[in-house]
């Protein structure tokens, strides 16, 4: 199925969860903010939310330092 991730179209398998997608993108779930169709998710939701055709994702990664 097709998703839009940070403005780019990408194909992933049906039944992929957000955590699985993050793993695919080599991103750590606790270091990103995920917006699914403009709604910001909490970490618990990332694990159980199944992606659907046409979903729009914005994934914002944080690196350490302050």
Partner 1 sequence: MIGIRLNEVPMRIEEGATLRRLRDRLHPEADLLIVNGFPVAEDRRLEPDDSVVMIQRGVIPTADQLETLMMARHTPGVHARVSRGRVGIAGAGGLGSGVAVALARVGVGQLVIADFDVVEPSNLNRQQYFIDQIGMPKVEALRDNLRRINPYVEIEVFDGRIDAQNILEVFDGVDVMVEAFDAPDQKAMLAAAHLRQSPRCPLVAASGLAGHLASNAIRTHRIRDNFYIVGDLESAAEPGRGLMAPRVGIAANHQANAVLRLLLGEKPE
Going by DSSP bridges, is the β-strand pair 39-40/56-61 parallel, antiparallel, or unpaired?
A: unpaired
Near partner 1 by CB under 8 A, which window of 10-18, 27-35, 48-56?
27-35
How far apart (Å, rounded) are the C-alpha atoms in residues 47 and 35? 14
Nearest residue to 22 (alpha-carbon basis) of 7, 31, 14, 13? 31
Binding residue for partner 1 (CB under 8 A) from 33, 47, 48, 49?
33
Nearer to partner 1, 46 or 51 (CB): 46
Residues found near partner 1 in the complex (CB under 8 A):
28, 30-33, 40-43, 58, 60-66
């Amino acid at each position: 199925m097709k998703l839009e991730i940070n403005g780019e179209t990408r194909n992933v398998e049906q039944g992929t969860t957000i955590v699985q997608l993050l793993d695919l993108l080599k991103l750590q779930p606790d270091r990103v903010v995920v917006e699914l169709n403009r709604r910001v998710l909490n970490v618990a939701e990332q694990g159980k939310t199944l992606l659907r055709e046409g979903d729009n994702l914005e994934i914002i990664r944080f690196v350490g330092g302050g």
